Structure 1
Amino acid sequence: MMKTSAFKAAYGFNRDEARLGNWRAAPWNVWAFRHVSEFIPTARIAATPGLIEDPVVDPEDLLRQKFSLNGERITVAEALRETSTDAMVVMKSGRIVADVHAPDFTLQSRHILFSTSKSVTSIVAGILRDDGLLDFDELVPRYVPELKFSVYGDARVRDVLDMRVSLDFEEVYHDPHGPYARYRRAGLLDPCEPGEEPETVVAFIAGLKKGQGDHGGVYHYASPNSDVLGLIIQGASGQRFPDLASERLFQPLGARQDAYVTVDRAGTPRTGGGINMTPRDLARIGEMMRQGGVANGRRIVSQAWVHDTITGGSSKAWSESTSASWLPQGRYHNKWYQTGTSNDAFFALGIHGQWLYVDPRAEMVIAKFSSQPDAIVDDAKDFNLALFDALAKIA
């Protein structure tokens, strides 16, 4: 690990300045996104025992390549700097062709996925559906009885998966006092406010109110839905989410490094945004999806579920939402985004620039971790999508 003095020379701050009150803010997020377990309690998601990572694949040839963006020619290296990249893995035809690491990032470094966690969690839900343990058309309380009298009482599992729960909740990332800030504090992502009574994620979710309209309508992005999915998975399986994810996804996948998920004071896993893992292991999840649910010659999730995830969903639910402005032809289904473009690409996305992007036609998978200063910037999303399109041609 880089010495503190060398780290300050590289990044301009001392890493011991990062703490719970500032860990998502620049510049401290550069270090904190790789060390979340030092701020927040976590549960282990065990990797496959005994597997060792192959050496780093030199990215220099790729970094020098140029592509056109908004009428200008820029290098891949410049694009990665512009998007505050911490690490990127590029796979072509099942083989790693480049590992990009910022200073102090190694093959063992685990980085928070933020909402890319939602897409990983949905794979576990797909596995349970294949097992006959989870029915997407059932109401949520069948699996989570404590939400029977909540807004989720008449919502289907399918509504949770597709972000079509009618919910009076907005994700306002920069409001320190609104409902989203309270949600973060319930998940132990922020320190409690003075005099505030601590609450759990389940208690927060149970108090949410219904929005306008019925469930199953327009796409409405709300992270609590994905924590509810984690509760559904635990209720359907009778297992803790991190144990089940290890047994049914990470170990069959051949994950090389343990992952972990943040938990609240009651031990509830933050499946909506708390998974932390290495970029190579995330890329392996993308490759499994590209291969229709198979990794290492072993079926992890059914081809039918993968096909439905990357081709199904409601175009109308998406087009009538505010998100359609940045992805006009897109859809959202089973917590994965579809571009709707000719390459049939699909992806997982998290705030501050976390991506798992799959281009089936180019046989390409990209896992990209970033520490962008702002949580959400549509221009940055467009920039990254343009970079990925370029990499499909030049990698």
Structure 2
Amino acid sequence: MSSSAFESAYGFPRSDVRLSNWRQSPWNAWSFRHVCELIPIARISATPGLTEEPRVDREDLVRREFGVDGEDVTVADLLRKTSTDALVVMKSGRIVAEFHAPNFTLQSRHILFSASKSVTAIVAGILHGEGLLDLDEAVPAYVPELRSSAYADACIRDVLDMRISLDFEETYQDPRGDFARYRRAGLLEPVEPGQVRETLIEFLSSLQKGAGEHRGPFRYASPNSDVLGLVLERASGERFADLVTARLWQPLGARQDAYVTVDASGAARSGGGICMTPRDLARIGEMMRSGGVVGGRRIVPEAWVRDTVSGTPSGQWNAGKLADWLPGGSYRSKWYQRRAGSEAYFALGIHGQWLYVDPRAEMVVAKFSSQPVAVCNDAKRLNLALFDALAAMA
């Protein structure tokens, strides 16, 4: 795309997008689809030659109407309100509807942000089924470099369920705290004068326990999922991208290569750096809906999927800080369970990334967005209303 064509398509020149602003609006409408131009990556390879994609009607979906807060709105209205880049709907194993924003194609790969955690946990389930991962083992048994950190006496199950006592706050707007250090370690932000560039494992090794012990209430902290990625690499003896390629991506029948961002040492950002197409993300959801099976081939142990979707006891969730936007919900193995009379469960990332599975409706929805605010509970509520409406549509 020429410079003039780029500016005409996005409303700003490519030169405006920098590592210092790529997560901000309006630049994120482009950067979330082109992370590989800003941050180093490792490729997750699809099976060569498996590229055929079904055609679906893209117009009928956006004209549909449903009620939100006593008002009738169209799907198009809600997609616009939630800054949607792409949407794929599967029912009973078939892609039945989709939406692409301008300049988004079937080959466009979008960052998952924290929905990456749910993909990483699937790989953990695969290794656990192979006998390579002991969930009751302490983290340093796999990653000795963390033996002086908060993770010294944490077990893998605690890491999976976000029940780690950690002196760390997920403060997206703080440019000077530990979360900013974390972003710099993952090469997500530039290093300013006077700042030090750590690797991910150096940063993780510096984290200490917070108040209380592990295995307490649900406490969301992204570094836990990068720890999990390191554990999976050590347990398997393979780099994260190669592990995902062999155990998940190619068995799944993914049509396009995916990729994961890496730090200066090549360590994968397994907690938030995976990028893929929306259709391939939907295929992951369909595999989960089918109990870990694709095309008659088992990829994930059935017991792992069943345990993931059952969730943790509600008391652990309700005592955490995120219970206000998902009352009665739960969290297990890095997937959210909706509960409150619903069997639905989902993966979720900042700025509006979703993989939503509704077993009763035999429905899977993959949704990518470039919402201007990283965390917005109103947008979450609108998206859940959209998913309910999609489940009810024929």
Structure 1 residue runs of 4 or more that deviate by more than 3 Å after TM superposition = 2-11
1:31 corresponding residue in structure 2: 30
TM-score between the two structures when normalised by the length of structure 1: 0.98
SS across alignment from 1:90: strand
- In structure 2, what is the Cα distance between the partners aligned to 1:34 and 1:273? 14
- In structure 1, what is the Cα distance between the partners aligned to 2:369 and 2:266? 27
User: Does the aligned pair in 1 maintain the 2:199–2:265 contact within 8 Å?
Assistant: yes
1:360 corresponding residue in structure 2: 359
Q: Which amino acid aligns with 2:200?
A: V
1:197 corresponding residue in structure 2: 196
1:185-243 per-residue CA deviation (whole Å, 9 max, x = no partner) reads 01000000213222101001110111110100011100000000001101111111110
SS across alignment from 1:219: coil
1:254-301 per-residue CA deviation (whole Å, 9 max, x = no partner) reads 001000000000110000000000000000000000000001211001
Aligned 1:160-309 pairs, distance under 5 A:
160-309=159-308
1:384 corresponding residue in structure 2: 383
- 2:57 aligned with 1:58, yes or no? yes
Deviates more, 1:221-230 or 1:137-146: 137-146
User: Does the aligned pair in 2 maintain the 1:92–1:362 contact within 8 Å?
Assistant: yes
Q: CA offset at residue 59 of structure 1?
A: 1.9
SS across alignment from 2:78: helix
- In structure 1, what is the Cα distance between the partners aligned to 2:53 and 2:204? 42
- In structure 1, what is the Cα distance between the partners aligned to 2:380 and 2:355? 12
- In structure 2, what is the Cα distance between the partners aligned to 1:129 and 1:387? 35
Contiguous gaps of at least 5 residues in structure 2: none
SS across alignment from 1:322: coil
Contiguous gaps of at least 5 residues in structure 1: none
Deviates more, 1:21-30 or 1:196-205: 196-205
- In structure 1, what is the Cα distance between the partners aligned to 2:391 and 2:59? 17
User: Does the aligned pair in 1 maintain the 2:10–2:30 contact within 8 Å?
Assistant: no
- 2:86 aligned with 1:87, yes or no? yes
User: Does the aligned pair in 2 maintain the 1:43–1:262 contact within 8 Å?
Assistant: yes
- 2:70 aligned with 1:71, yes or no? yes
1:324-381 per-residue CA deviation (whole Å, 9 max, x = no partner) reads 1110110010000000032300000000000000000000000000000000001111
Q: CA offset at residue 53 of structure 1?
A: 3.0
Q: CA offset at residue 383 of structure 1?
A: 0.7
Q: Which amino acid aligns with 1:19?
A: R
SS across alignment from 1:74: strand
Q: Give identity over the alignment, percent.
A: 68
- In structure 1, what is the Cα distance between the partners aligned to 2:143 and 2:104? 39
- In structure 2, what is the Cα distance between the partners aligned to 1:68 and 1:146? 53
2:324 corresponding residue in structure 1: 325
- In structure 2, what is the Cα distance between the partners aligned to 1:154 and 1:115? 25
2:113 corresponding residue in structure 1: 114
SS across alignment from 2:188: coil
- In structure 2, what is the Cα distance between the partners aligned to 1:3 and 1:293? 44
Aligned 1:37-56 pairs, distance under 5 A:
37-56=36-55
- 2:131 aligned with 1:132, yes or no? yes
SS across alignment from 2:95: strand
Q: Which amino acid aligns with 1:387?
A: L
- In structure 1, what is the Cα distance between the partners aligned to 2:53 and 2:145? 46
SS across alignment from 1:325: coil
Q: CA offset at residue 10 of structure 1?
A: 4.2
Q: CA offset at residue 322 of structure 1?
A: 1.4
- In structure 1, what is the Cα distance between the partners aligned to 2:129 and 2:208? 32
Deviates more, 1:7-16 or 1:118-127: 7-16
1:50-79 per-residue CA deviation (whole Å, 9 max, x = no partner) reads 101314422211111100001110000110
- Tell me how large the CA RMSD over aligned residues is: 1.1
User: Does the aligned pair in 1 maintain the 2:311–2:336 contact within 8 Å?
Assistant: no
Aligned 1:333-344 pairs, distance under 5 A:
333-344=332-343
1:75-127 per-residue CA deviation (whole Å, 9 max, x = no partner) reads 00110000000001000100001121111100000000000000000000000
- In structure 1, what is the Cα distance between the partners aligned to 2:247 and 2:313? 29
User: Does the aligned pair in 1 maintain the 2:168–2:221 contact within 8 Å?
Assistant: yes
